[in-house]
Amino acid sequence: MPTDDWLDPWLPELAARAAGLPVLEIGCGSGDDTATLTAAGLTVIAFDLSPEAVAAARARVPQAAIGCQDVRDPFPLGPGAAGAVVASLSLHYFAWDETMALAERIHAVLRPGGLLLCRLNSTEDTHFGARGHPPIEDNFYDVNGEPKRFFDAAAIDRLFATGWQRLSTRHAVTGKYGLPKSLWEVVLLRVDGDGGEAVP
Q: Within a domain: residue 59? A: yes
Q: Within a domain: residue 196? A: no
Q: Within a domain: residue 1? A: no
Q: Within a domain: residue 199? A: no
How high is the pLDDT of residue 55?
98
Q: Name which of 79, 80, 92, 85 is nearest 49 in CA terms.
A: 92
* Confidence tier at 71 by pLDDT (50, 70, 90): very high
How high is the pLDDT of residue 1?
47
Instruction: Tell me how far apart the alpha carbons of residues 17 and 165 are, in angstroms, rounded to a whole number.
Output: 13
How high is the pLDDT of residue 200?
35
User: Is the separation of the CB atoms in 89 and 53 below 8 Å?
Assistant: no
What digits encode the pLDDT tens for the residues 81-122? 999 999 999 999 999 999 999 999 999 999 999 999 999 999
How high is the pLDDT of residue 192?
80
Q: Within a domain: residue 198? A: no
Instruction: Tell me how far apart the alpha carbons of residues 123 and 193 are, in angstroms, rounded to a whole number.
Output: 30
Q: Within a domain: residue 14? A: yes
Q: Name which of 127, 102, 129, 173 is nearest 139 in CA terms.
A: 129
- Its domain, for residue 141, covers 8-190
- Average pLDDT rounded to a whole number, residues 30-34: 97
The structural domain count of the chain equals: 1
* Confidence tier at 193 by pLDDT (50, 70, 90): low
CATH at 110? 3.40.50.150
What digits encode the pLDDT tens for the residues 151-175? 999 999 999 999 999 999 999 999 8
pLDDT more than 90, % of the chain: 92
Q: Within a domain: residue 197? A: no
